[in-house]
Amino acid sequence: DTGVSQNPRHKITKRGQNVTFRCDPISEHNRLYWYRQTLGQGPEFLTYFQNEAQLEKSRLLSDRFSAERPKGSFSTLEIQRTEQGDSAMYLCASTRVQANYGYTFGSGTRLTVV
């Protein structure tokens, strides 16, 4: 297993455009998380899935953000009508549902909105 894979690594987009990021988790992991991280800060929770069900969404996740995990495998995070404030690193992580198990993070997608 090659770990958690995120694509693209970098994305530059113009304000108002839509963007979509993809995350491929470790295959045995049934939980998948999305976090957002801005410079000098820790990761902030956005949402998570257990298998294909989206179980929690942060209030940070405005209606311009949508995440899916069809068939409980890979996940996509879409941002519609991007704003400059959306510029950040978007991190995906996966883990097992059992307690006391660490997360495996991908390398992230860095979004720059110009």
Partner 1 sequence: SQQGEEDPQALSIQEGENATMNCSYKTSINNLQWYRQNSGRGLVHLILIRSNEREKHSGRLRVTLDTSKKSSSLLITASRAADTASYFCATDEGAQKLVFGQGTRLTINP
Q: Does 30 bind partner 1 (CB under 8 A)?
A: no
Mapped onto helix, strand or coil, the DSSP state of residue 9 is: coil
Determine the interface stretch with partner 1 among 14-22, 62-70, 75-83, 88-96 (rule: CB under 8 A): 88-96
With respect to partner 1, which residue has the nearer C-beta, 30 or 80?
A: 30
Closest CB to partner 1 among residues 59, 71: 59
Angstrom distance (rounded) from CA 28 to CA 17:
34
Closest to partner 1 by CB, 10 vs 15, is: 10
Tokens of 83: 């704003």
Q: Which of 66, 80, 87, 103 binds partner 1 (CB under 8 A)?
A: 103
Kindly state the helix (H) or strand (E) to which residue 39 belongs, with its residue range.
none
Residue 19, number of CB atoms within 10 A of its CB: 18
